[in-house]
Chains A and B, each alone.
Chain A
Amino acid sequence: DVKVTQSSRYLVKRTGEKVFLECVQDMDHENMFWYRQDPGLGLRLIYFSYDVKMKEKGDIPEGYSVSREKKERFSLILESASTNQTSMYLCASSLLSREDFWDTEAFFGQGTRLTVV
């Protein structure tokens, strides 16, 4: 059974703290993604990675950074947490699509609900 595991379901952090959200997948997927989910806004892409040590900014990268040192692990870092980063964070992974390979279904973790106080 495919699996994307996020290290915490709930986190409470203080303003200004450095926060690490961890995500691990066991499917040997090339692509990994971090989204934040807010009511009425859907899922917005923060960063994604298509290979080890490779990363691309998504739609809302400000205030975040990422790290991908190993293929199976993708970390989201809040350098200095702020209250407007209180949200649900979702990690996902998928195979890299190629011209002759059509299966790009993304698998999601259960999410981390982060509260910054």
Chain B
Amino acid sequence: AQSVTQPDIHITVSEGASLELRCNYSYGATPYLFWYVQSPGQGLQLLLKYFSGDTLVQGIKGFEAEFKRSQSSFNLRKPSVHWSDAAEYFCAVAPRGGYNKLIFGAGTRLAVHP
């Protein structure tokens, strides 16, 4: 069955520290890959996406993610976290072609300590 796993439900980091949020997927073929962020009381905003090509993708707000086919992973990283990054982060996948059904992970809630 198709699935997306975000192993960390909550993560707390200090402001200025580096961040890595994990995402693993189970899919028959390499899907499209996405990271979304949801700030409190807000809708979902796309941070970045991977379709093909360079496996390191750059997104908004200083985030990047690396696609590793051998590990079926698409981990999100940021070298220095800001207090405004506190939010919930969702990894999502969609199959190539067809009807592009988006499947989400359970999310990782990030807290940032001053």
Residues of A whose CB lies within 8 Å of any CB of B are 31, 33, 35, 40-45, 48, 50, 56, 58, 90, 92, 94, 96-99, 102-106, 108-111
B90 & A45 in contact (Cβ 8 Å cutoff): no
Q: Which of B13-21, B40-48, B74-82 forms part of the interface with chain A?
A: B40-48
A42 & B107 in contact (Cβ 8 Å cutoff): yes
A40 CB contact (under 8 Å) in B9, B51, B100, B101: B9
Residues of B whose CB lies within 8 Å of any CB of A are 6, 9, 32, 34, 36, 42-46, 49, 51-52, 90, 92, 94, 96-107
B98 & A97 in contact (Cβ 8 Å cutoff): yes
CB neighbours of A110 from chain B (8 A): 42-43
B44 & A108 in contact (Cβ 8 Å cutoff): yes
B100 & A92 in contact (Cβ 8 Å cutoff): no
A90 & B43 in contact (Cβ 8 Å cutoff): yes
Question: How many angstroms between the C-alpha atoms of A45 and B104 in the bound complex?
Answer: 9
CB neighbours of B97 from chain A (8 A): 97-99
How far does the Cβ of B92 sit from chain A's closest Cβ, in whole Å? Answer: 8
Given A40-B9, A105-B49, A108-B44, is A50 in contact with B106 using a C-beta cutoff of 8 Å?
Answer: no
- Could you show 8 A-B contacts with beta carbons less than 8 Å apart? A35-B104, A90-B44, A104-B94, A105-B34, A105-B46, A106-B46, A110-B43, A111-B43
How far does the Cβ of A42 sit from chain B's closest Cβ, in whole Å? Answer: 4
B104 & A43 in contact (Cβ 8 Å cutoff): yes
CB neighbours of A103 from chain B (8 A): 51
CB neighbours of A94 from chain B (8 A): 100, 102
